[in-house]
Amino acid sequence: MRKTFRFFLSLLAFTFLQAAAMACPFCSEGLARNSGGFSGGLTMGIVITIFFFLGMIGSLAGFVIYLMIKEGKKSDRRHQLAAQAAAAAASAAETV
């Protein structure tokens, strides 16, 4: 749990502490005109959009992984119950 938290915290810090956005030519040109900072306007809008898209990709991937883990646990539980039922039926058949 702590390793996962540290990983996501470091990823978050890395994402937000970068001085320039090199994702597209317009971002880097706009940041160069604004002396390397996020001073608003079109450049800030582009940067926010990039962060939003990256956040959505991470959110969707996390949600899909969560659903896969949840269904896997359900499947394991179903297999355990089926094995217990089969064992009970076998022992009941032996006693008859």
Q: For residue range 45-54, what is the model confidence (pLDDT) as tens digits?
A: 788 888 999 9
Instruction: Please tell me the distance from the alpha carbon of residue 47 to that of residue 55, in angstroms, as a whole number.
Output: 12
Closest to 31 (Cα-Cα) out of 41, 49, 55: 41
Q: Which residues of 27-38 are buried (b: 16+ CB within 10 A; e: fewer)?
A: beebbeeeeeee
pTM of the model: 0.45
Q: For residue range 29-50, what is the model confidence (pLDDT) as tens digits?
A: 665 665 545 556 677 778 888 8
Report CA Rg, the chain: 26
